Amino acid sequence: MDIIQVKTKGHYDFINITELVSDSLAQSELVDGAVLIFVSGSTAALTTVEYEDGVLADIKEVLENIAPEYSDYKHHQKWGDANGAAHIKAALIGPDLVVPVQNNKLMLGQWQEIVLIDFDEKSRNREIIIEKLS
């Protein structure tokens, strides 16, 4: 298992971590199987997308329609912070991915990238856990 630290800015910080995962895989002996990728924390998520400005803007717009960042959430009232929307968005997308591996390579589509999205109200140090599965 590898644990990778990623510094984020919050407020929809999209970070392409495909190369980090590929590097971790390349240093392993896994030929065929899968990798499990998990982000620790309840205000960040992992997904795959075509990593380009239009798609990233569209994701942000859709998620803002579902859970606006600046709204009055019960979470704010209970804890005195302002990241209620971040918790909702992270829960909708999810904290983990499983990607198949063949010949020690991620089996991603031509434009598909692994992306960490930090929704929190402030910067964070995120732990990305990568587990190789045979």
Predicted confidence (pLDDT) at residue 44 exceeds the cutoff of 80: yes
The two three-digit tokens of residue 78, written as one number: 């209970």
CATH of the domain at 84: 2.60.120.460
User: Do residues 126 and 5 make contact, with C-beta atoms less than 8 angstroms apart?
Assistant: yes
Predicted confidence (pLDDT) at residue 57 exceeds the cutoff of 90: yes
Domain span at 102: 2-133
Confidence (pLDDT) at 65: 97
Domains of the chain: total:
1
Q: Tell me which residue has tokens 């190789």.
A: 132
Q: Tell me which residue has tokens 């999209």.
A: 14
Task: Write down the pTM of the prediction.
Answer: 0.95
- Beta partners for residue 115, in sequence order: 16, 47
Confidence (pLDDT) at 112: 98
| Rounded mean pLDDT, 58-81 | 88
DSSP labels, 51-76: -SHHHHHHHHHHHHHHS-SSS--HHH
User: Do residues 118 and 6 make contact, with C-beta atoms less than 8 angstroms apart?
Assistant: no
- pLDDT class of 74 with cuts at 50, 70, 90: confident
- Residue-wise pLDDT for 14-31, tens only, equals 999 999 999 999 999 999
